[in-house]
Amino acid sequence: MPTTPDKDLNQLEGQLAATLKPIRPQHAFVQNVRQRIAATGPAVGARRAPDPQVFLLMFTGLISAFILVAALARLLFFLLARSK
């Protein structure tokens, strides 16, 4: 006899309700977790921004590296085109 999807779903929900019973953890476990959470202290969301000089130095270093790579790529293309 064919079954309807609603009947199958109701049967599955009944099986899950019988299998997945809520549990209450032991009091000692709850206290241990609370102590561990309290001992870690507050979470830090973000670090302090670097000094402006450090930021400028990093920025100029990245720009210099980009220019160097672009110059090397242009030289490579020039040499390959010249050899043909």
pLDDT at 52 (0 to 100)? 87
The CA distance from 32 to 27, in Å, is 9
Helix ranges, the chain (H) = 5-19, 27-40, 52-83
pTM: 0.40
Chain segment 12-22, per-residue pLDDT in tens = 888 888 888 88
With 90 as the cut, is the pLDDT of residue 62 above it?
yes
**Residue for token digits 């309290």?**
38
Question: Terminal CA-to-CA distance of the chain, rounded, Å?
Answer: 79
Q: Where do the structural domains in the chain lie, given as residue ranges?
A: 5-40
Query: Which of 52, 49, 71, 70 lies closest to 60, judged by CA?
Result: 52
Helix (H, G, I), strand (E, B) or coil at 50: coil
